[in-house]
C-alpha cells in the first residue's frame, strides 16, 4: 500500500511540475492582442520582434494614436525593405533586410521626431494622412543605410523650419521647397557619382555633393521630409522617343492625384518640366513614383513572375506606383493573347532605346486579351518576351499609340513601294540633346542651341555611305540598300511603304540612332 501511494505521489509531483512549466511557458508567450494582423505577421519573423512588440506597447500606454499608427505602417511594410551595399573589390552586392537588422532604437527616435513635426498640420487638415505615411514618415527612401538623418536635417535647416509656422498651404510649401533647394544647390557638381545614390546615406551624399539626377533628388528629399513636406522621387527607366539613360526628379505631393514637380539642386517648383530639353520635348512610356508601402499591383506580385518567368530587374521593385497619367496623356492598349505568344511566358510592351527594344511595362490578362493600362500616347511600342538584359524577342508588330488612343500597326507593304528622301539622321530633340552633351556654356551654348532650333545646324547626313533597314514581319531589321550622300541628297528608292525604318552609317553599328516612319515625303522620328 505504501509502495502504491509512493508511486501515485511521484506521478502527482511530476504532473504538477509539468503543469506549472506549461503555465510559465504560456505566460512567456508574447501577446499580440489589439495589433493589426499584417503587423503581427512581420513581428513573428523579425530578428528583434520582442523589442518591437515592447515599443508598440509603450506607444499604446502613451495613448498616442499618431505615433502608434505611424509605427504600424512602418512595421507592416518593413519586410519589403533592405539595405544594399557593394563590395568595391569584387562588385558583389550584399543585401541586409530591415526585418533582420533593424532594432527599435534605429527607428523609434525617427518616429518620435517626425510625428511632432506633422502633428499640427495633420490636425488642421493641411496634410493628408495617407500622403504623410508614404512621403514624410519613412525612415528611408531607397536602399541606403539607415541613419539618424532626420535629426541632422532638422538641425541644419532650423532656419527654414520657422517658415512652417504659418501653415502648410501649397504656396508656403513651394516657398520652403525653393529655399532648401537653392541652399542644397550651393556647391553641387553634376557628374559621375562616386557611388549609387540609391545605396548611399544622406550623410554620404551631403559630404560629396557630386552626382546625377538621382543624387540630386535624394539630396533634397531628406531635408524637405524632415521639415514635414510630402516630397516624392519620380523616375523613368527609359525614354520612349529619345536615347540616353533614365531620369529622376522630385515632386511636392499636394493631393492623391496632384503634384508639383521640381528638380532637386537645380530647378524650383513650379517652373520645372521634366520632359523639356530646350524647346523640344521627350516623353517616357511609363513614370514611376517611389513609395514605402508594398504595391500589390507591382510586377513582383504578377502570377507569371511568381511562377518563375524572367523579368527586367529595373521593374522588380514593389515599392513603386505608376503615375504616368498624372503627367501625360495615356491610353489603354489591348492585344489579342493568341496572336502574341505560343507559351505562357509574360508579354511586355517595349520601346526602342539605345539600339535595343527595352521592356517598359507588363499587362493584366483578361480572357483572351493582354491589357496594358496608362501607356503614354504618341509613342512607338513593340510587344516582346523578355529573356535577359539586352535580349527581348518580338512577338508582334511594332505600332504607334496615337494621341487619340488608336493603334497604328507598322507592317511593311512590299507591293506598294516608296522613295525615301533622308533629310536628317535624327530628330530635333536628339539634336538639342547633342548640344547639351558638348559641354558648352554661356553665349556659345545659346548660339549652338539657336542654330538647331532654327534649322541652321541640324543632323544632315555626312558624305559617306548609309544603310537603310526596315522592320520586317520576320521580327527583325531587314537591310534594303546602301546609298551615298551626294549633291545634298540621300534617296533610297523602291522601299516597302508603311514600315518602321532605321538608318545607320557605313562601317558603324551606331547605338544612338532612332527609328522613323515616312509618309507624305516626311520623316517622323520615334
pLDDT tier at 137, thresholds 50, 70, 90? very high
- Residue 54 φ/ψ, nearest 5 degrees: -65, -40
**Average pLDDT of the segment spanning 489-500:** 96
Cα separation, 245 vs 213, whole angstroms: 11
Nine-digit cell string for 197: 545614390
Least confident interval from 4-13, 112-121, 125-134, 473-482: 4-13
- pLDDT above 70: residue 383: yes
Is CATH 2.60.40 correct for 327-409? yes
pLDDT of residue 367: 72
pLDDT at 164: 64
Per-domain residue ranges of the chain:
37-290, 327-409, 413-425+460-525
55-77 pLDDT, tens digit per residue, is 999 999 999 999 999 999 999 99
Instruction: Report which DSSP code applies to 497.
Output: E
pLDDT one-digit tens code per residue, 352-369: 999 999 999 999 877 788
* Residue carrying the nine cell digits 551624399: 205
Dig out the grid coordinates for 162 from the structure.
520657422
- Integer angstrom CA distances of residue 477 from 148, 238, 389, 395, 500: 53, 21, 19, 14, 9
- Burial degree of 304 (CB within 10 A; 0-12, 13-18, 19+): middle
Amino acid at each position: 500500500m505504501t509502495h502504491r501511494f509512493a508511486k501515485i505521489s511521484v506521478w502527482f509531483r511530476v504532473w504538477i511540475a509539468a503543469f506549472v512549466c506549461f503555465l510559465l511557458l504560456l505566460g512567456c508567450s508574447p501577446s499580440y492582442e489589439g495589433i493589426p494582423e499584417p503587423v503581427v505577421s512581420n513581428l513573428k519573423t523579425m530578428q528583434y520582434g520582442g523589442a518591437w512588440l515592447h515599443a508598440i506597447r509603450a506607444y499604446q500606454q502613451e495613448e498616442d494614436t499618431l505615433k502608434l499608427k505611424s509605427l504600424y505602417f512602418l512595421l507592416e511594410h518593413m519586410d519589403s525593405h533592405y539595405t544594399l551595399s557593394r563590395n568595391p573589390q569584387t562588385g558583389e552586392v550584399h543585401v541586409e533586410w530591415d526585418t533582420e537588422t533593424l532594432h527599435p532604437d534605429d527607428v523609434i527616435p525617427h518616429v518620435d521626431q517626425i510625428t511632432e513635426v506633422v502633428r499640427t498640420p495633420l490636425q488642421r487638415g493641411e496634410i493628408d494622412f495617407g500622403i504623410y505615411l508614404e512621403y514624410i514618415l519613412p525612415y528611408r527612401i531607397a536602399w541606403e543605410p539607415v541613419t539618424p538623418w532626420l535629426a541632422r536635417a532638422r538641425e541644419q535647416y532650423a532656419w527654414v523650419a520657422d517658415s512652417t509656422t504659418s501653415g502648410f498651404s501649397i504656396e508656403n510649401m513651394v516657398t520652403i521647397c525653393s529655399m532648401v533647394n537653392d541652399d542644397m544647390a550651393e556647391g553641387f557638381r553634376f557628374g559621375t557619382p562616386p557611388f549609387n545614390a540609391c545605396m548611399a546615406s544622406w550623410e554620404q551624399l551631403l559630404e560629396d555633393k557630386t552626382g546625377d539626377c538621382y543624387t540630386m533628388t535624394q539630396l533634397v528629399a531628406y531635408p524637405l521630409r524632415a521639415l514635414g513636406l510630402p516630397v516624392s522621387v519620380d523616375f523613368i527607366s527609359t525614354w520612349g522617343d529619345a536615347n540616353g539613360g533614365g531620369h529622376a526628379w522630385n515632386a511636392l505631393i499636394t493631393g492623391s492625384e496632384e503634384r508639383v514637380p521640381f528638380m532637386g539642386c537645380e530647378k524650383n517648383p513650379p517652373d520645372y518640366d521634366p520632359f523639356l530639353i530646350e524647346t523640344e520635348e521627350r516623353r517616357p512610356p511609363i513614370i514611376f513614383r517611389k513609395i514605402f508601402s508594398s504595391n500589390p499591383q507591382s510586377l513582383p506580385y504578377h502570377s507569371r513572375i511568381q511562377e518563375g518567368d524572367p523579368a527586367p530587374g529595373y521593374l522588380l521593385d514593389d515599392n513603386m506606383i505608376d503615375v504616368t497619367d498624372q503627367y501625360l496623356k495615356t491610353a489603354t492598349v489591348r492585344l489579342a493573347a493568341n496572336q502574341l505568344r505560343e507559351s505562357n511566358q509574360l508579354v511586355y510592351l517595349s520601346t526602342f532605346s539605345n539600339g535595343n527594344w527595352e521592356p517598359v511595362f507588363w499587362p493584366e490578362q483578361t480572357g483572351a486579351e493582354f491589357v496594358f493600362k496608362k501607356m503614354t500616347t504618341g509613342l512607338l511600342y513593340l510587344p516582346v518576351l523578355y529573356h535577359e538584359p539586352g535580349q527581348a524577342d518580338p512577338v508582334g508588330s511594332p505600332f504607334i499609340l496615337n494621341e487619340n488612343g488608336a493603334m497604328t500597326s507598322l507592317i511593311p507593304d512590299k507591293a506598294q513601294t516608296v522613295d525615301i528622301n533622308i533629310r536628317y539622321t535624327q530628330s530635333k530633340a536628339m539634336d538639342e540633346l547633342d548640344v547639351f552633351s558638348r559641354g558648352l556654356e554661356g553665349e556659345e551654348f545659346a548660339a549652338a542651341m539657336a542654330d538647331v532650333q532654327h534649322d541652321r545646324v541640324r543632323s544632315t547626313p555626312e558624305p559617306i555611305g548609309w544603310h537603310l533597314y526596315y522592320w520586317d514581319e520576320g521580327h527583325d531589321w531587314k537591310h534594303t540598300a546602301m546609298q551615298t550622300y551626294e549633291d545634298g541628297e540621300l534617296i533610297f528608292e523602291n522601299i516597302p511603304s508603311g514600315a518602321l525604318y532605321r538608318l545607320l552609317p557605313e562601317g558603324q553599328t551606331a547605338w544612338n540612332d532612332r527609328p522613323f516612319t515616312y509618309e507624305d515625303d516626311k520623316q517622323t522620328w520615334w
